[in-house]
Structure 1
């Protein structure tokens, strides 16, 4: 179980962002991952930073759903 969710974050941040924007929802574990990436500035591009901020704005404004991690495998 844990290994499957860790593998999800082996994907490049860009692919994770694209999946979230396409799905219109974000899992709590993805939210934590993006917040961590954003705060650490681990080699993300200005575009990725803008998209992460856009996702967080959409969550705050109720335009994107934050869902529990059940069934994230």
Structure 2
């Protein structure tokens, strides 16, 4: 995982530190999603349990960018 991540696997369990939006924003800014990005986002989502509509829209942004070719899947 690159050093520009503010979040790590060890901080996933601290809900105050980790939210969906900053992770999605970082992925979209970079224009690519790695296996590590996917694992971090998935872990946050599954740990959070109750995803609200705002967080769901953030995740859907990733799918939209993949479908339109704006986001590349790398190191899979």
TM-score normalised by structure 1 residue count: 0.57
Residue 29 (structure 1) shift: 2.8
Greater RCO (Cα-Cα under 8 Å, separation 6 or more): 1
Unmatched 5+ residue regions in structure 2?
Answer: 2-6
Residue 45 (structure 1) shift: 2.6
More helix by share: 1
**Cα RMSD (Å):** 3.3
Residue 8 (structure 1) shift: 6.9
**Does residue 68 of structure 2 align to residue 61 of structure 1?**
yes
Unmatched 5+ residue regions in structure 1?
Answer: none
Residue 41 (structure 1) shift: 7.2
Q: Deviations over 1:4-46 (max 9, x none)?
A: 9524746322211111122121112322444562x78723231
The change in CA–CA distance for 1:56 and 1:34 in structure 2 (over 3 A counts) is farther
TM-score normalised by structure 2 residue count: 0.56
Q: Tell me which moved more, 52-61 or 7-16.
A: 7-16
Moved over 6 A (4+): none
